[in-house]
Every structure is written in structure tokens, then in C-alpha cells.
Amino acid sequence: MEEDHRHHEPLDLASWDPPAELGLDAALTLRHATVADLEAMASLELASQPAPWPLESFEREQGLAWSRTWLVEDPSTGQLLAFLVFWIVHDEVHILNVAVDPAARRRGIARAVLRHFVAICRQKRVSFVTLEVRAGNEAARGLYAALGFRRIGRRKNYYADNGEDGVVMGLNIEES
Ligand SMILES: CC(C)(COP(=O)(O)OP(=O)(O)OC[C@H]1O[C@@H](n2cnc3c(N)ncnc32)[C@H](O)[C@@H]1OP(=O)(O)O)[C@@H](O)C(=O)NCCC(=O)NCCS
């Protein structure tokens, strides 16, 4: 049997802070979400997902010790432009939700957020990042593939609203 040299130690739940600046041309900022952001997140979600999370789902995340929500905002207007919700699960991190405001898409915001996120995962010695995406979601699959995520499985009829398959994707941090 091949020996596995990965660490597998439980991850430290402290300091999963994003950098303050997104680093794109427009001076967009990154921070953790608070209760004051719930309404804006729920409306961005409504504009973004076929089966949107209700506000309560975002609220519940804020009460979970292993969950983090990062936000991108435009500091000149205070407008929420994107969010990323993830769970820290032992040595793995699972992405639960990502969305960018429809008017701000295709400007590199999601890629920039995920690059910062992967850099933090590397710093934290995460073994791998996983996520699930609708089989027909070309934009998201393109985004994840461009970041080095690979398809690791498929869940038939996973999405209850339309019976769409879920594609499970993974990024092995040590090999990426
Ligand atoms: C998927 C999503 C988060 C991408 O956000 P974004 O900020 O527009 O993405 P970026 O501008 O950073 O794009 C990065 C790369 O992703 C891919 N991509 C993004 N949108 C795409 C589209 N509409 N079609 C094809 N590829 C796309 C491209 O490879 C792109 O690189 P390029 O612009 O250099 O070609 C956004 O479309 C969204 O919020 N969709 C609805 C919610 C959703 O599907 N979330 C994911 C659920 S798992």
C-alpha cells in the first residue's frame, strides 16, 4: 500500500480571515459577514440560484463554529458584490455556496476570491477542498476548472428542484 504523507490533523478554526483587499483594479474589499449582511446575501442569492437558500440558511451558518462566510463589497457604495460560504471539516474545506452579483460577473471577482481562499487553505495546511456543482452550470464549472479543481464524482438526480446531477469537484492543495 502506498504511504500517505498528508497531515490529517484537525484544522485550527481560528484566523480564517480574508485579506482586506480583493486586489482587482476596482478597489473592492473582503471581510467576514455579520448579521447586518443577511438581507443583502439573501437577495444576491435569490438573483443567483435556481433553488435559493432562504435568509435563515445564511443566518444558521453564522452560528456554526466550523462555518465562514466571506463577502466582497464595493466600499464606495457599500454594495455587496459576492459571497463565499465554506466549512472547515477536519483537514478538508468544503465550499457550500458562492455567488457574484449578476451585474458584476465576468470581471474576475469569483476567481480573485477563490484564489485568496486557496492561498489561505494552503497556509492552513488544508489537504483538499471539495464542492458540488450542478452538471449544467457551465460558468461555475469553468471557474473551478480554471482554478485547478478536478471532477471526482457525480451524484445522480441530486438537485430536488429539477433532478439535475451534482458534480463533485476537488482540489488537492498539496498537489496544486
Ligand atoms: C459562477 C459565478 C460565481 C462566477 O463568478 P464571476 O465573478 O462572474 O466569475 P469570474 O469573472 O471570476 O470568472 C472566472 C472564470 O470562470 C469561468 N466563467 C465564469 N463565468 C462564465 C460563464 N458565464 N460561462 C463560461 N465560463 C465562465 C471562466 O473560465 C472565467 O474566466 P474568463 O472570464 O477569463 O474566461 C457566477 O456566475 C455566479 O454567481 N453564478 C450564479 C451562482 C452559481 O452558480 N454559483 C456556483 C454554485 S456551485
Measure 73 CA to ligand 1 centroid, in angstroms: 17
Domain chopping of the chain, boundaries:
29-127
Q: Give me the residues of the chain with pLDDT under 70, please.
A: 1-7
User: CA-to-CA distance for 172 and 106, rounded, in angstroms?
Assistant: 26
Ligand 1 atom having least distance to the Cα of 99: 39
Can you name the CATH fold of 29-127? Aminopeptidase (3.40.630)
Q: Is the CB of 49 under 6 A from ligand 1?
A: yes
- Could you tell me if 73 and 27 are in contact, meaning their C-beta atoms sit under 8 angstroms apart? no
User: CA-to-CA distance for 138 and 140, rounded, in angstroms?
Assistant: 6
* pLDDT tens-place string over residues 57-95: 999 999 999 999 999 999 999 999 999 999 999 889 999
Measure 106 CA to ligand 1 centroid, in angstroms: 6
Q: Is the CB of 108 under 6 A from ligand 1?
A: yes
